[in-house]
Amino acid sequence: MQLNGRRVSRETQERLEHFEALFQKWARSINLSAPSTLDDAWNRHIADSAQIFQLQSTPLRWIDLGSGGGFPGIVTAIMLAELGGGWVHLVESNHKKAAFLRTALRETGGRGSVHPVRIEDAPLIVEDCDFVSARALADLEKLFGYIEPWSKRNAKLRAYLHKGRDYRSELKKAHGGWGFDLLEHKSAVDRDSVILEIFNLQRVA
């Protein structure tokens, strides 16, 4: 199977398809995503989320912030299962969504665990990580504040953040209080979206 131009194993394909079926089932009773996106969940959510792993496939430790419906955290955890290494810590304070995430990990064999806590409390539970991901969560200034505890502990940390068409105004605003290096990756799924790869993050004001 080809996913965004990259071949994945049959087993990974089956795991992703099972996750999509679980997502559709649970989304009927709890708010996992905008209803308008459910009919095209494979492209709008799964293929979109898989881009992060395709940018960074080193099997190390991830923190996925505000995991919600499992994008990109569950997708990353499933992709890591193919490698047999790495781990995703999914942070989701909503207990119904956290229950969904646990079910998804258990039934797909994804390499991850769920932490039903506020993002601000997560650094006390998961002390170290190599990569951070977040999708449709908050503006960059707020995201950087969330990420800062981990970036202080790991100078090599990289964050992979999905952003829509207004990302440039968020970048301009964030530069007022933060220093960081940036790589912009155009989305292969949505021409108006990007994935921002952030590193060397530090507060400057």
Percent composition of the chain: helix, strand, coil (DSSP 3-state, to 5): 45, 25, 30
Is pLDDT at 67 greater than 80 in this prediction? yes
CATH of the domain at 134: 3.40.50.150
Domain residues for the domain of 148 are 2-203
Beta carbons of 137 and 163 less than 8 angstroms apart: no
- Mean pLDDT computed over 7-14: 88
Total number of domains in the chain: 1
pLDDT on residue 37 = 61
Query: Is pLDDT above 90 for 42?
Result: no
The per-residue pLDDT for 163 is 95
Mean local confidence (pLDDT), 89-95: 97
Strand-pair partners of 90: 64, 114
Give pLDDT, residue 140: 97
Q: What is the pLDDT of residue 88?
A: 98
Q: Which residue has the tokens 């229950």?
A: 99
Q: What is the pLDDT of residue 36?
A: 56
Instruction: Answer yes or no: is pLDDT of 137 > 80.
Output: yes
Mean pLDDT of 170-185: 96
How does the average pLDDT of the chain come out, rounded? 92
The reported pTM is 0.94
The whole-angstrom separation of Cα 75 and Cα 51 is 10
